[in-house]
Chains A and B, each alone.
Chain A
Amino acid sequence: MIDAMDKAAGLSPDDALFAARRFRPEFVQGAEECRLSVLQPANDQGLAPNLRVALARRMAALNGDPVLMAEYDVQLAQLGPTEQLLALAQGETDLNEPLATIVRHVDLITLTPKKAEASHIALLVKAGLNNPQIVALSELIAFVNFQTRVAAGLRLMRST
C-alpha cells in the first residue's frame, strides 16, 4: 500500500526503492504513526486539524517542497479553511493573533533552528498558548522538517 511518504517521494510499488523502504517496516509504520499524531491527533490540544495542515503547507513551502505543498493544499481544502488559514498556508505574515506569533515561530524554527532562544517560547506564552499547545506545535514543526528531509533524500535516491 502506498503511504504518505511514498506519495511525497513519488514512489510506486514497482519502484525498487519502494521495496527497499520496506526493508525497514519500523520506519514506514513509525513515520505514518508520527504523521497522524501531529496532523490528526485524537486530542488536538486546541490546535485544530485545519490549523495544523495550514502550518504544514507553509513549512513545506519553506523547505522548497512543491510535492508536499500540493498534498497539503488538497488536505487543507477539505478541512473548511478560513481566509486567515488560507493566507497563513500561503506564507502570509500579516495575520490576527495568535496566528501572527505562531507563524513567526514556525518560520524561525523551520529555517534557522540554531537561533532559537528562551524568548521565543515566552512569545508563544504571551500569545496565549499553554504548555501542551507549545509542545504540540513544536512536534508539528519538527515532524514536517523530518518529513521533507526523508522525502528529499528518497527523491535523490530515485533520481540516481
Chain B
Amino acid sequence: MISSVRLKPLNWHPYIAPVELSGATPEQLEAMKVTPSAKKVSEYVRTLAHDPESYLARTILFNAIMYVEGGLARPDRELGALGASIVNGCKFCAVVHARRHAELTKSDEVVTALYLDKPEALGPRDAAIYSFARRLSAAPSEATADDIAALRSVGMDDCEVIDLIHAISIFGWANRLMHVLGHAESG
C-alpha cells in the first residue's frame, strides 16, 4: 500500500513579456479567442500570441487530440500526456494532466504510483501506455515494435494506438513550449 500524493495546481510565469491585450494586433486578438479547453486568456496564451499563426494552428490540433469524441479513452490520453511530461521535465504539464487523470478515473492510484516512481504498481493496460509514452518521448525515440505489440495485447485497436501516439507527441510539443518559455511555481 502506498500513500496517496497530493498534487496542487502550479502557476506558470513566462520568461518573456506576454502580449498585452491593449497592444495586441487584430490577428493576435483573433488567435487568442481559441484557448486550450476554452478558459480565460492566460499569461501562457498571451506569450504564445507573439506568433499568432502557430498558436492558432497548434491549439486547434491540441484540443482535437485531447478532447475529440470516441477512440482512446480520455484517461488514457491523459496518461500518455503525463508520461511525456515527466520525461520532458515539464512539471506544470505533469501536474495538470496527473490531476485530470485522477479526476477522470476518480482515483489517484495511478498518479500516486508514478509520482513515487513505482510504475511496477500499474495494471497491464496503464503499464503498456506509460512505458510507450516514456520511450516515444525520448530523443531520439526509443519506442519499438514490442511497445505496439504490448498496446495491442491489452486490447487497443489501430485507431486507439493512433490516438495515443498523438497524445504523447503533442506533449513532445507542449512541454517544449511550457517548460522552455517559462517556469512553474506553487501556490
Q: Judging by beta carbons under 8 Å apart, are B50 and A142 in contact? A: no
Contact with B along A146-160 (1 / 0, CB 8 A): 111110111011011
Q: How many residues of A contact B (CB 8 A)?
A: 60
Chain A residue nearest to B181 in the complex (CB): A138
CB distance from B156 to the nearest CB of A (A): 11
The bracket for how many chain B residues form the interface is 35 or more
**A110, B64: Cα distance in complex, Å:** 24
**A151, B166: Cα distance in complex, Å:** 10
Q: Which residues of chain A are near B37, meaning CB under 8 Å? A: none
DSSP majority for the B interface?
helix
Q: Judging by beta carbons under 8 Å apart, are B57 and A120 in contact? A: no
- Inter-chain contact total with CB atoms closer than 8 Å: 180
Chain B residue nearest to A122 in the complex (CB): B15
Q: Judging by beta carbons under 8 Å apart, are B60 and A135 in contact? A: no
Q: Which residues of chain A are near B175, meaning CB under 8 Å? A: 113
Q: A65-B140, A121-B15 are in contact. Are A145 and B172 (CB under 8 A)?
A: yes
Query: Other CB < 8 Å A-B pairs besides A63-B140, A118-B183, A136-B54, 17 of them?
Result: A21-B162, A24-B68, A24-B162, A24-B163, A27-B64, A38-B54, A109-B176, A114-B87, A121-B16, A132-B50, A135-B54, A138-B181, A145-B172, A145-B173, A152-B143, A153-B136, A157-B158
- Shortest Cβ-Cβ A-B pairs, 3 listed: A114-B89, A30-B61, A153-B165
**Chain B interface (Cβ within 8 Å of chain A)?**
15-17, 47-48, 50-51, 53-58, 60-61, 64-65, 68, 71, 87-90, 136-137, 139-141, 143-145, 147-149, 152, 158-159, 161-163, 165-166, 168-170, 172-177, 179-181, 183
